[in-house]
Amino acid sequence: MSHSEISPSNAHRWMRCPGSVKLLRKVPPETESSEDASLGTRKHALMAQFAMLFQSSLSIGLHPTDVVAADFLKSHPLATDEMRDGIFDNQLVEYAEYLMHNPNDGKEPARVDIESFLDLSAVSPGMRGTADAIIYRHSDTTIEVVDYKSGSIPVTPHANEQLMLYLIGALQMTSDGLCSRNGRHLITIAQPSVETGPLSFRSVTVSIDTLRSFMFNAKTKAAAALNFKNPLRQPSNEACRWCRAKAICREYHEWAGADVLIDACDKEGCFKISYQLAKRVLDNRKWITALIKSCQDYAIGKLNGGENFPGYCLVEKPGRRSVIKSDEVKEYLEALFGLDALQPVGVGTLDRLGRENDVSIDFAITRGEPKMTLAPIEDVSDDFKTEEGNENE
């Protein structure tokens, strides 16, 4: 068993759908992470490293303003130009200040563990986790688990399984553990309200009784997921959203209304679809779209792993085109087309302006790496051919 099969970060899934753990063993491993995921990983690492720098500076008596976030980003290999040009440096400072000062009295906490490794074997053998930060305030015996989320889809700390598990791990590192502790327990999400906005900190208090019953539930679900012959598979929005087993999950197909889609495709022409059927397809469009994506990922995973997937092969797709964001290019575009240099412009707009003015726009366009993509072996009809993509539209 790989340890990450049952971990705090996927607890939202296995606690709702224990059967997903065994089903996912049949799905090919992910070959590449999405752009969003890799940006999120960079931001997480930068947040943690800056907070550690801030912490060590305070410990040797420096003033917080002596640590300049913009300079930290300027030379850091993980920082992107957008982070350096935007207000990400403000988020770094907000996060570090939150960890190092009590928001109520401004005092430094007794201890702050950043990127804290947690042993959660008490919940499931071999389970591990890393909390973004754990704050121990001995003055009021509060323990607070803080999790940074880089995405702009709001995440609530309320009944958040991942943070509840981190809290269990944090409590088990204290002498009074989970048994007799009377202090306050907080779980906090630090997240920008919009991607480029300031960080907001949302906290909830968790009682020790809630935590004990949560731990019992987590232990039961983890044991079922790993040890039952046919653990329950229970589709839901929260469980299925990121689950990579959709393509092969019967329960998901039923829940997502895949039968509705097949019914609709069986009709001889779209004009014959009744309003009721069209409505059912539209009602389920989110789940149906996710199912199609999951089937594509499943087939690509098999082919990438050297296996056969009947009727399909991988073909090279040209990289996405995007506008080069340099001052020089902006100046050229302003001179050629009278564009406002401060306004971002998309590839489609440049294509149109180039055609209308009979000017080549190649100097302003860059192309990403080609990617392998799925294509039917027999079917070469235009409707399946993947278009080369444009960014910045």
| Closest C-alpha among 222, 129, 149, 145 to residue 188 | 145
**Shortest spacing between CB 256 and ligand SF4, in angstroms:** 9
**Shortest spacing between CB 327 and ligand SF4, in angstroms:** 47
| Nearer Cβ to ligand SF4 (20/91) | 20
CA distance 169 to 176: 13
By CB under 6 A, name the binding residues for ligand SF4. Answer: 13, 17, 19-20, 23, 233, 235, 239-240, 243, 245-246, 249, 251-252
**Shortest spacing between CB 288 and ligand SF4, in angstroms:** 13
**Shortest spacing between CB 12 and ligand SF4, in angstroms:** 10
| Nearer Cβ to ligand SF4 (122/248) | 248
| Nearer Cβ to ligand SF4 (157/235) | 235
For the chain, what's the residue count?
393
| Nearer Cβ to ligand SF4 (250/367) | 250
Determine the number of helices (DSSP H) and then strands (DSSP E) in the chain.
15, 9
| Nearer Cβ to ligand SF4 (89/297) | 297
| Nearer Cβ to ligand SF4 (58/292) | 292
Residue 83, class by beta-carbon neighbours within 10 Å (0-12 exposed, 13-18 middle, 19+ buried)? buried
**Shortest spacing between CB 174 and ligand SF4, in angstroms:** 34
| Nearer Cβ to ligand SF4 (249/300) | 249
**Shortest spacing between CB 153 and ligand SF4, in angstroms:** 18
3-state SS string for 238-272: HHHCCCCCHHHCHHHHHHHCHHHHHHHHHCCCHHH
Distance spanning both ends of the chain, measured CA to CA: 43
| Nearer Cβ to ligand SF4 (246/280) | 246
**Shortest spacing between CB 217 and ligand SF4, in angstroms:** 17
Output Rg (C-alpha) for the chain, integer angstroms.
25
Cβ atoms of 1 and 22 closer than 8 Å: no
Structure token pair of residue 311? 């009727």
| Nearer Cβ to ligand SF4 (132/251) | 251
**Shortest spacing between CB 231 and ligand SF4, in angstroms:** 10
CA distances from 199 to 17, 174, 393 (A): 32, 29, 28
- Residues forming a β-bridge with 317: 371
Residues whose CB falls within 8 Å of the CB of residue 258, separated by 6 or more in sequence, listed in order: 288, 291
> Hey, how many other C-beta atoms are within 10 angstroms of the C-beta on 70?
12
CA distance 267 to 304: 35
Strands 199-205 and 312-317: unpaired
**Shortest spacing between CB 26 and ligand SF4, in angstroms:** 10
